[in-house]
Structure 1
Amino acid sequence: MRRAAFGRWRRAVLAARCRLVAGDRERGANPVELAVVMPLILVLLFASLQVSAVFLARSTALNAAQSGVNAQRLYNARGGAGKASATRFLSATGGWLLGWDRTGPTCVTTAVEVTCTVTGRSLSVVPGVDFAVEQTAHGTVERVTPP
């Protein structure tokens, strides 16, 4: 008796298993979906890396320009102190800003104000895509005022 019940149970399980496997019409759909979605995922990944590289290049250029302004605006600062300070900063920060050494930081000093501009290019994650970066900082020249 037990053997007959086991045989019926086994046949029912096998029949259900065959129906499930035979009715599975979406077999192999996951690799196709992945092949369709993967280029979009890669484009978003590289775009986010490129945006990060541009942001870091802009931050580096702005900090170098501010460093130049802070050095040049001091009371009785020698000529070229701002450019030297910005160049030291850019040399120490690594390669986030490219091409700055060709033009170099420019610092213009008037009687009242100092303006430093740093130009260059950001790193390119995508070949052939080039982003120009230019940041300017301003500051007032320190001077002695009569009491």
Structure 2
Amino acid sequence: MSDGADRGASPVELAVVMPAVLLLLFGSIQVAAWFLARSTAMHAAQSGVNAQRVHQAPSGAGVERATAFLAAAGDWLADPKLTCATTATEVTCTVTGTSISVVPGVHLTVSQTAHGTVERWTEPAR
């Protein structure tokens, strides 16, 4: 039989291990939030490109569509900034921001860019 020398060892071991377990738990949730923010930014950028690349799309259509997407997607991406640049042949939309923070003091930056070809009339091949 035990003489009681190990009495109370389990709570002490738990107190030592629990901060590491909580750090891993919240760290994994923070990484998941970062991936969701990246996905949200990418889909917003793609949505902006799809709106801006349409034949004779008005200026600002891409930013408007991306802003609407971000409003509907929720708060996964904090402080989003949108830019869409259009040339004669190409559209590029970039969405940047930070993911929501689960771990205090951790602010992970997200930046996603999408490209697309502008729809236009061209001469047929002969």
TM-score if structure 2 supplies the norm length? 0.92
Number of the residue aligned with 2:26: 46
Which piece of structure 1 moves more, 25-34 or 77-86? 25-34
Give structure 1 regions of 4+ aligned residues with deviation exceeding 3 angstroms: none
More relative contact order, 1 or 2 (CA 8 Å, 6+ apart) = 2
Cα distance in 2 between the residues matched to 1:47 and 1:108: 36
Q: Deviations over 1:35-62 (max 9, x none)?
A: 1110110000110011011111111011
Q: 1:80-91 counterparts in 2 under 5 A?
A: 80-91=60-71
Number of the residue aligned with 1:124: 101
Partner-residue secondary structure (3-state), 1:66: helix
Number of the residue aligned with 1:94: 74
**Deviation of residue 144 (structure 1)?**
1.9
| Structure with more of its chain in helix, by fraction | 1
Q: 1:1-147 counterparts in 2 under 5 A?
A: 20-22=1-3, 25-100=5-80, 104-147=81-124
Structure 1 spans left out of the alignment, 5+ residues: 1-19
Structure 2 spans left out of the alignment, 5+ residues: none
Cα distance in 2 between the residues matched to 1:80 and 1:30: 63
Q: Deviations over 1:94-144 (max 9, x none)?
A: 1001111xxx41100001110001111110112222112111111111122
How many positions carry a matched residue from both structures?
124
Aligned-pair identity (%): 65
Q: Say which one has the larger Rg.
A: 1
| Structure with more of its chain in strand, by fraction | 2
TM-score if structure 1 supplies the norm length? 0.79
> RMSD of the TM alignment (CA)?
1.3
